[in-house]
Amino acid sequence: MRLRSGIRPRNQSDAMRPEYIAYTAMEPVSTVLFSLYRGTPSREDWLLACLQGAWPGLLGEAVANACRPAQLKGRELTIEVADAAWLPALAGMKAEFLKRIREAAGHEIQELTFVCNGVN
């Protein structure tokens, strides 16, 4: 652990003192959790559940009502669309959606696929 000024705590108990904690750069909790689940059998299920919970905040209420994250295989997220009329609009916003989703998911998602009621 290092302070921005380069001063190091002398020991572990010093590292817990407020003056060290306040100025120490910390990783976001999501980064720590992603690293804990990376490589485990439950990684995909856990990440999918996180995305489902954050969906309206990531893409907005209107889009969240029209589609949902349905499946994660490897680094590809399948998004199920409720109505085929949304497919052209969603395809046009794919790059922006991928950017938002990647940032929220610690860059674990590399590809998005849209399907209408489970059919490409």
- The ranges assigned to domains in the chain are 1-37, 41-116
Q: What pTM value is reported for the model?
A: 0.68
DSSP characters for the chain? ---TTS---SSHHHHTSHHHHTTS----HHHHHHHHHTTSTTHHHHHHHHHHHHHHHHH-HHHHHHEEEEEEETTEEEEEES-GGGHHHHHHTHHHHHHHHHHHTTT---EEEEEETTB-
Pick one of 3.30.300.130, 3.40.50.720, 3.90.226.10, 3.40.190.10 as the CATH number of 41-116.
3.30.300.130
Condensed to tens digits (0 to 9), the pLDDT of residues 99-111 reads 999 988 888 899 9
What tens digit of pLDDT does each residue of 46-60 get?
889 989 999 999 999
Of residues 8 and 52, the one with the higher pLDDT is 52
